[in-house]
Amino acid sequence: MKLLFILDPLDSLKSYKDTSIAIMREAAARGHALYVCEQHDVFLRNEIVKVSTNEFHFSGGETWYQLGKTVEFLPKDFDAILMRKDPPFDNEYLYSTYLLELAANQGTRVINNPASIRSWNEKLSVAKFPQFSPEFLVTSSNDLIREFLNEHKDIIVKPLDGMGGSGIFRLTESDPNIGVILETSTQLGAQTVMAQRYLPEIKLGDKRIIVINGEPLPYALARIPKAGETRGNLAAGATGVAQLLSTRDLEIAKTVGKTLKQEGLFLVGLDIIGEYLTEINVTSPTGMVEIAAQTPCKPAQIFMDALEGSAN
């Protein structure tokens, strides 16, 4: 197959732990042709989508990769385009989904489905599965968040477009900084945020479950917060510990996975704390390398098996 990966700048990626690179290594080992570009390399000339790319090869030298000359292609020249640009989901990311949706309409297979990426906000999408989600509130009103805090006593407030634990606050009724935290989070009532009931099970880890073409991997990566932290994000210093899925994890992942597959969301990361689904990550989910290092499971192999199988 001929595969195009839309990535962040290569020099910004940690090649030893990046999930996109792990998938690319597995694809290269199988003899597939790899190409890379950044989101701004996808463009529209009149009604036709084009993409400016470089052929990619892994290298054992001082740099871990080599690039060929820049070549312009039609997106449909590739067997699949994998959108692996990290959030934030800003206007530039939004425009990329529009261009990639046009490319899909012109015969290109795009993973994940760009229209679904656009419509599945990673925080708000838990509302599609209320049977699995903790109590939550989405608003820009500080007064409503205060009412929610008074009801639940202990809550988490987070932006709808954040990643890696950025902008997340834990609030209790006795916190002396409630006012300034809410003013900052909502930008004085101008920005919509999500408040969720605090789940004390976070101390046991924020479990990342990887779902590939509707099926969950058998292991989750439990991201255990460091001392004094409430955020279970590796970027915030959490420790990743792989563990088998529980019965509840499987119930959530299997149920959600059916809908994800229908929506063309091929690679997704579910976040589960205790018994509850807290986020659905559809942009650039990670965790494959950590799971592969700690268990017999090989996520990149499973991903490529699924990609090759679904292409037939």
Asked if 251 is an active-site residue, the reply is: no
The residue annotated as part of the active site, out of 84, 197, 207, 231, is 231
Rounded to whole angstroms, the Cα distance separating 108 from 12 reads: 27
Among 197, 223, 233, 263, the active-site one is 223
First to last CA, the chain: 11
Q: Could you tell me which residues come within 8 angstroms of residue 49 by beta carbon, excluding any fewer than 6 positions away?
A: 42, 43, 74, 75, 99, 100, 102, 103, 106, 108
Which residues make beta-bridge pairs with 239? 224
CA angle 73, 78, 79 (to 5 degrees): 170
Q: Which residue out of 54, 113, 233, 281 is catalytically annotated?
A: 281
Q: Exposed, middle or buried: residue 81 (CB in 10 Å: 0-12, 13-18, 19+)?
A: buried
Catalytic (active site) residue 154:
no
Let me know if 281 is a catalytic residue: yes
Q: Which of 158, 161, 213, 249 is flagged as catalytic?
A: 158
Residue 35 near residue 84, CB atoms below 8 Å: no
Crossing angle between the packed helical segments 178-185 and 142-152, to the nearest 10 degrees:
130
Annotated active-site residue 279? The verdict is yes
Note if 76 is an active site residue. Answer: no
Report the distance separating Cα 267 and Cα 23, nearest Å: 11
Tokens of 187: 């930008």
Q: State the amino acid at position 74 in one-letter form.
A: L
> SS3 for 37?
strand
Of the residues 101, 161, 279, 290, which is catalytic?
279
State the amino acid at position 115 in one-letter form: A
- 242, 220 in Cβ contact below 8 A? yes
Report in angstroms the alpha-carbon separations of 197 from 19, 143, 149, 188: 30, 16, 8, 22
- Please say if 312 is a catalytic residue: no
Which residue out of 84, 85, 109, 123 is catalytically annotated?
123
**Residue 158: active-site member:** yes
Catalytic residue among 54, 101, 208, 213: 208
Catalytic choice (18, 161, 249, 271): 271
What b/e readout covers 175-199, taking b as 16+ CB neighbours within 10 angstroms? eeebeebbeebbeeeeebbbbbbbb
Is residue 298 annotated as part of the catalytic site, yes or no?
Answer: no
Catalytic residues: 123, 158, 208, 223, 231, 271, 279, 281
